Chains A and B, each alone.
Chain A
Amino acid sequence: MPPAEARWLRDWLDDSSEDGGRTLSGRTARVELAALARSSSLDVDPVALRGRCVLIATRDQLTAALAAIELDGVARRIVLLPPDVPREHLDAVMADAAVEVVVGDVAQDGAALGSASRVTCAPPLRPIAPTRHDPRPTEWVLFTSGTTGRPKMVIHSLAGLAGAIVRGGARDGRPVWGTFYDIRRYGGLQIFLRALHDGGSLVLSDAEEPVGDFLARLAAQGVTHVSGTPSHWRRVLMSPAARAISPRYIRLSGEIADQAILDGLAALYPTARIGHAYASTEAGVGFDVDDGREGFPASLVGAPGPVEMKVVDGSLRIRSPRTAIAYVGANAAPLADAQGFVDTGDMLELVGERYRFAGRKGGIINVGGLKVHPEEVEAVINRHPQVRMSLVHPRKSPITGAIVVAAVVLREEGAQSVTLREEILGLCRARLAQHKVPATIRFVPALAVAASGKLERPHA
């Protein structure tokens, strides 16, 4: 087992077992991890990228994973671009993160790269002479979820990102990890690091691959540990191929795990350990819950340990060595308060001896992992000439955790009609991403306005 304090990712590629065969698999290609010690996926010598600031902007997760392994300890900064960041923000991302080099896929177009130079990354690997220079710590830059407009990024260290990975964590032999979650987001990256650290292999998903095909691929690789969001797992439970896999460990993160999904998984995979983890890109991994119940024990708040938690005004605050170092950008807001606590924005309610998650501060709605700011949707609805005001809020969903719904006050009472509802929905569809369009619109006579003059926004 390599030391947990290993300074760079390559230290985790050791393959000392006789049967060898640690692999990283994508939908169309598979790479032996051991081969990375003497070969490269990049079309330049990695040493040429030493001390540079590199944006990894590949379509494919496997190529992103290979580039990250090769450049950790080499590049000054690795910026991991998630696949869903709109292209129009790329210039802002490159400027904010001071990107000098872009790593892309072979077949990708080269647009919007500005003055940065371009490097191509792809399997198959080509042989290179072993690298001999001393690794230097690389800054890992990740995108936060839940912003509109210009993307927000945070800086992590590898030590901070790997802070929750315990030595010997894979207590039941060499794991074969599978992740539904993209490794270019915080939750997926955790699984990437775990698989490398625990001496295991990793099977990566593809956004365009049907869930049944991915399950078949996981089964073919003998997957033992699988991670995804509750929304990913709900899709698995709806798939006839769900029984193709029989993992020893199931992990949920990225959204609130409710009792129904925990019970559904326990019924389908009775021999699996099932855990849900709390983490955020800014605050890092907070804790793991393994007792099969939603929420978490109230005793975790205020308990001593590396991760300190407190609840202020209903929202969870975390101070730990796993939190991000800072937001990217000279004028960025501070990430933590004066005491070093990060406000996660996740609202808690105490039910007996347990805390449950009660939505997001400011009414932000999490639709299957995609965050929606109600104000953005309200602004679109309010453009309709017959709308006086509107309130957009979350509604619980057994499929995506929450969905967006709207309550609308019309200028003329009683003017409501099916046509009007369709007009408002049409307006939303034309201007908003699918997950932001209200699933239902209710016409109401009035909305509660607080003493501050603002709409009262229930956070549940």
Chain B
Amino acid sequence: MTTRLTITSEIERVAAEQNTKLAPLSDDLILLDSGLDSLCFAILVARLEDSLGVDPFTASDDVTFPVTLGDFVQAYENAAR
């Protein structure tokens, strides 16, 4: 499975668990408008670390916080490289 697909399916799973209505997952989706709250993102990042083996928001010294879904996916793709 591609990094992107892993991320979007995990987002859908977290949203379903938390009974959250999810906005359509496009690259320019603002994460804070996605329907996921901080707790959802915390769960998401922990599970992605388990499945992808990296947490790009902790790993490096130069952390940028993602604003859009595109930023979020990019952070994982860059970290995997």
CB of A234 closer than 8 Å to a CB of B = yes
Q: Do residues B55 and A398 form an inter-chain contact, with CB atoms below 8 A?
A: yes
Q: Do residues A440 and B31 form an inter-chain contact, with CB atoms below 8 A?
A: no
Contacts of A399 in B (CB 8 A): 38, 41-42, 45, 57
Q: Do residues A440 and B38 form an inter-chain contact, with CB atoms below 8 A?
A: no
B40 shortest CB reach to chain A, Å: 9
Q: Please give the number of chain A residues whose Cβ is less than 8 angstroms from any Cβ of chain B in the complex.
A: 30
Contact A439 B64, CB 8 Å, known A231-B38, A238-B31: no
Q: Do residues B46 and A425 form an inter-chain contact, with CB atoms below 8 A?
A: no
Q: Which of A407-460 contact B (CB under 8 A)?
A: 425, 429, 434-435, 439-440
Closest A residue, CB atoms, query B60: A260
Interchain CA distance A260-B75 in the complex, whole Å? 15
B17's partner among A239, A397, A425 (CB-CB below 8 A) is: A425
Contacts of B65 in A (CB 8 A): 234, 237-238, 264
CB of B70 closer than 8 Å to a CB of A = no
B46's partner among A211, A234, A240, A440 (CB-CB below 8 A) is: A440
Q: Which of A219-245 contact B (CB under 8 A)?
A: 231, 234-235, 237-240
Closest B residue, CB atoms, query A268: B65
Contact A239 B67, CB 8 Å, known A398-B45, A399-B41, A403-B43: yes
B72 shortest CB reach to chain A, Å: 9
Interchain CA distance A222-B45 in the complex, whole Å? 35
CB of B63 closer than 8 Å to a CB of A = yes
Per-position contact with A for B17-59: 1 when CB-CB < 8 Å, else 0? Answer: 1100000000000111000001101110111001000010110
A401 shortest CB reach to chain B, Å: 9
Contact A260 B46, CB 8 Å, known A235-B38, A239-B67, A240-B67: no
Per-position contact with B for A206-217: 1 when CB-CB < 8 Å, else 0? Answer: 000011100000
Contact A439 B31, CB 8 Å, known A260-B57, A368-B38: no
Choose among B18, B30, B31, B43 the residue with the greatest number of A CB atoms under 10 Å from its CB: B43
CB of A396 closer than 8 Å to a CB of B = yes
Q: How large is the interface on B (under 10, 10 to 19, 20 to 34, 35 or more residues)?
A: 20 to 34
Contacts of B42 in A (CB 8 A): 367-368, 397, 399-400, 403, 439
Interchain CA distance A234-B67 in the complex, whole Å? 11
Q: Do residues A264 and B32 form an inter-chain contact, with CB atoms below 8 A?
A: no
B37 shortest CB reach to chain A, Å: 9
Q: Do residues B66 and A264 form an inter-chain contact, with CB atoms below 8 A?
A: no
Q: Do residues B46 and A403 form an inter-chain contact, with CB atoms below 8 A?
A: yes
Interchain CA distance A398-B79 in the complex, whole Å? 15
Q: Do residues B32 and A439 form an inter-chain contact, with CB atoms below 8 A?
A: no
Interchain CA distance A405-B47 in the complex, whole Å? 11
B52 shortest CB reach to chain A, Å: 14
Interchain CA distance A405-B62 in the complex, whole Å? 27
Choose among B38, B45, B67 the residue with the greatest number of A CB atoms under 10 Å from its CB: B38
Interchain CA distance A86-B55 in the complex, whole Å? 35
Interchain CA distance A239-B41 in the complex, whole Å? 14
Interchain CA distance A212-B32 in the complex, whole Å? 9
Contacts of B66 in A (CB 8 A): 238
Q: Do residues A260 and B39 form an inter-chain contact, with CB atoms below 8 A?
A: no
CB of A263 closer than 8 Å to a CB of B = yes
Closest B residue, CB atoms, query A438: B43
B67's partner among A238, A395, A434, A435 (CB-CB below 8 A) is: A238
A226 shortest CB reach to chain B, Å: 17
20 new A-B contacts at CB < 8 Å, known A234-B65, A368-B38: A211-B32, A235-B38, A237-B65, A238-B65, A240-B30, A263-B63, A264-B63, A264-B65, A368-B39, A368-B42, A397-B45, A399-B45, A400-B38, A403-B42, A405-B46, A435-B39, A439-B43, A439-B46, A440-B47, A440-B50
Query: Can you name 20 A-B pairs with beta carbons within 8 Å?
Result: A235-B38, A237-B65, A238-B67, A240-B30, A260-B57, A260-B58, A260-B63, A263-B61, A368-B38, A397-B42, A398-B63, A400-B41, A403-B43, A403-B46, A425-B17, A434-B18, A435-B39, A439-B42, A440-B46, A440-B50
B residues with CB within 8 A of A: 17-18, 30-32, 38-39, 41-43, 45-47, 50, 55, 57-58, 61-67
A residues with CB within 8 A of B: 210-212, 231, 234-235, 237-240, 260, 263-264, 267, 367-368, 395-400, 403, 405, 425, 429, 434-435, 439-440
